[in-house]
Amino acid sequence: MKLGFVGLGNMGSAIARNLIKAGHQVTVYNRTRSKAEALRPEGATVAETPAEAASTGLVFTMLADDSAVEQVAFGDKGIIGALPRDGVHISLSTIGAGFSGRLAQSHRDAGQRYAASPVFGRPDSAASAKLTIVIAGDDQAIERARPLLDAIGQKTFILGSEASSANVVKINGNFLLANMIEAFGEIFAVLGKYGIDPKQFLEIVNGNLFRSPVMQNYGNIIADERFDPAGFKLKLGLKDVKLAIAAAEDVNMPFPMASLLRERFLMAVAQGKGEKDWSAVSTVSKL
């Protein structure tokens, strides 16, 4: 089928490529055009504007933050102006729950259909179509997106008709990862003072207790201090922690651990580590 794809960073490019591979006619748009051109040999049509990608009738967006999505959605030559009646917008980006809800309303007001569908996974999972996907929002948007999501991920969870629910789950999933990273950072710093090898701690506590591959992986990265190149940039980690705080605040809820994480990520950014992998927040604990 014909569809549009806006946002061709590491994640977006890998996902768009899988949609092309699956036989779809994909019209791609990216602000820095070269990244769009890179997909032309694989069969993509390169659009001049987000509007052009949206005019296909179904458009994905995969962008860095609320403000980037706001621009391609509401801006001049943007998606909302170009998407036909009953057209579908699937937002794959990790954006705020509040903003996602407002976006849903704007699409409804324009007679369009919107679903939030953030993904779990790093670029390599995106490349191998092994993302875990959550989706919520307009029923028909979900229905039309389902077969497409099957081409880019290994599993999709449907979370109901409130689009922001998908964002809340994604944001809190990321918070749980950030929390684990910070916990390892604080623990390993103490172990270091006692001359205890953090890898042995990991072997004992994760190998026999938690048994989580993700914990093992992050634990090793932190123990080895492998923070470059960034799999997920620390400054984006800060953004996500702030989204978690905001999502809680929107429902009048404190979120003490997220507040603590915000402080730590900010300190890391102040120490010039914003471009490193977010697991580098662990270094704030080293004294």
Q: Write each residue from 127 to 146 as x if it is in contact with a copy of itself (CB under 8 A), else as -, in one continuous string.
A: -----x-x------------
Residue selected from 41, 85, 109, 256 as contacting a copy of itself according to rule CB under 8 A: 256
Residue selected from 29, 99, 120, 278 as contacting a copy of itself according to rule CB under 8 A: 120
In whole angstroms, how close is the CB of 17 to a copy of itself at the nearest point? 22
Q: Which is nearer to a copy of itself, 60 or 255 (CB)?
A: 255
Count Cβ atoms below 10 Å from residue 107 Cβ, excluding itself.
25
In whole angstroms, how close is the CB of 186 to a copy of itself at the nearest point? 6
Q: Which is nearer to a copy of itself, 41 or 195 (CB)?
A: 195
Size of residue set near a copy of itself by CB under 8 A: 65
By CB under 8 A, residue 155 contacts a copy of itself: yes
By CB under 8 A, residue 151 contacts a copy of itself: no
By CB under 8 A, residue 190 contacts a copy of itself: yes
Strand partners, 119: 133
By CB under 8 A, residue 163 contacts a copy of itself: no
Q: Which is nearer to a copy of itself, 138 or 182 (CB)?
A: 182
In whole angstroms, how close is the CB of 169 to a copy of itself at the nearest point? 6
86: left (phi over 0), alpha (psi -120 to 50) or beta: left
Choose one: 70-78, 85-93, 138-146, 174-182; the region binding a copy of itself (CB under 8 A): 174-182
Is the distance from CB of 134 to CB of 166 less than 8 angstroms? Answer: yes
Q: Give the active site residues.
A: 170
Q: Hey, which residues between 208 and 247 contact a copy of itself (CB under 8 A)?
A: 208-215, 247
Q: Hey, which residues between 30 and 89 contact a copy of itself (CB under 8 A)?
A: none
By CB under 8 A, residue 260 contacts a copy of itself: yes
DSSP assignments along the chain, one per residue? -EEEEE--SHHHHHHHHHHHHTT-EEEEE-SSHHHHHTTGGGTPEEPSSHHHHHTTSEEEE--SSHHHHHHHHHSTT-HHHHSPTT-EEEE-S---HHHHHHHHHHHHHTT-EEEE--EE--HHHHHTT-EEEEEEE-HHHHHHHHHHHHTTEEEEEE--S-HHHHHHHHHHHHHHHHHHHHHHHHHHHHHHHHT--HHHHHHHHIIIII--HHHHHHHHHHHHT--SS-SSBHHHHHHHHHHHHHHHHHTT---HHHHHHHHHHHHHHHTT-TTSBGGGGGGGG--
By CB under 8 A, residue 123 contacts a copy of itself: no
**What's the rounded Cα separation, in Å, for the pair 277 and 9?**
16
Q: What are the residues binding a copy of itself (CB under 8 A)?
A: 97, 120, 132, 134, 155, 157, 159, 162, 164-165, 168-169, 172-173, 175-177, 179, 182-183, 186-187, 189-191, 193-196, 200-201, 203-205, 208-215, 247-249, 251-260, 262-264, 266-267, 269-271, 285, 287
